[in-house]
Amino acid sequence: MSNWRRLEDEAAMLAFGASLAQRFPSGGLITLHGDLGAGKTTLTRGLLRELGHTGNVKSPTYTLVEPYHLQGRDIYHFDLYRLGDPEELEFMGMRDYLRPDALCLVEWPEKAGGWLPEPDLRVHLRHCGAAREVFLE
Ligand SMILES: Nc1ncnc2c1ncn2[C@@H]1O[C@H](COP(=O)(O)OP(=O)(O)O)[C@@H](O)[C@H]1O
Ligand SMILES: [Mg+2]
């Protein structure tokens, strides 16, 4: 049985994202699983804000990746929803993003086919009424 934890509102999702920032003091790969509106981008915003990002966080729906440089580290936020073919990842230089010192957060990792390595952490998100639930793997 999975251990789902309830996140009551957006503030709770932001706080949860912030807590992940401490778990990853250097690089890593975090995949974010869940339907549209499950809170993947909100969680990412919480993490980025914790590291000092003050601007808005746009969904990289068309660009596929949005780079950030915070506290001396490179953080890459991916949204692969519109990825047509996993092979495109090769052309966009995915290999370079996945270096050990960079922190990568990937929405819709399923779209990458077998192209992503095993993540350090899988975050599963789902709707639960008006709230959300999270499960870490
Ligand atoms: N724990 C939560 N409870 C209620 N609403 C939430 C929660 N987390 C996020 N939301 C809201 O869900 C909506 C969609 O979130 P978003 O992060 O864009 O989803 P996704 O990136 O998974 O498609 C946003 O309006 C956000 O404020
Ligand atoms: Mg999103």
37 lines ligand 1 (CB under 6 A): yes
Provide the pairing of β-strand 65-70 with 73-79: antiparallel
Length of the chain: 137
Ligand at minimal distance from the CA of 35 is: 1
Task: List the beta bridge partners of residue 133.
Answer: 6, 126
Classify domain 5-136 at the CATH topology level. Rossmann fold (3.40.50)
* pLDDT tens-digit profile, the chain (137 residues): 679 999 999 999 999 999 999 899 989 999 999 999 999 999 999 999 999 999 999 889 888 999 999 999 999 999 999 999 999 999 989 999 999 999 999 999 999 998 999 999 999 999 999 999 999 99
pLDDT of residue 137: 96
44 lines ligand 1 (CB under 6 A): no
pLDDT of residue 15: 98
pLDDT of residue 18: 97
Sheet with 5-7: strands ordered across: 5-7, 131-136, 121-128, 28-33, 103-107, 73-79, 65-70
pLDDT of residue 1: 64
Atom of ligand 1 nearest to the CA of 45: 17
**Cα 52 to Cα 124: distance, rounded to the nearest angstrom:** 25
Gap from CA of 59 to ligand 1 centroid (Å) = 12
- Supply the Cα-derived Rg of the chain in whole angstroms: 14
pLDDT of residue 62: 85
Of 66, 50, 53, residue with least CA distance to 13: 50
132 lines ligand 1 (CB under 6 A): yes
Ligand at minimal distance from the CA of 38 is: 1
Exposed / middle / buried, residue 126 (Cβ in 10 Å: 0-12, 13-18, 19+):
middle
Residue nearest to atom 3 of ligand 1 (CA): 9
pLDDT of residue 133: 98
pLDDT of residue 102: 97
Q: What are phi and psi of 31, to 5 degrees?
A: -100, 140
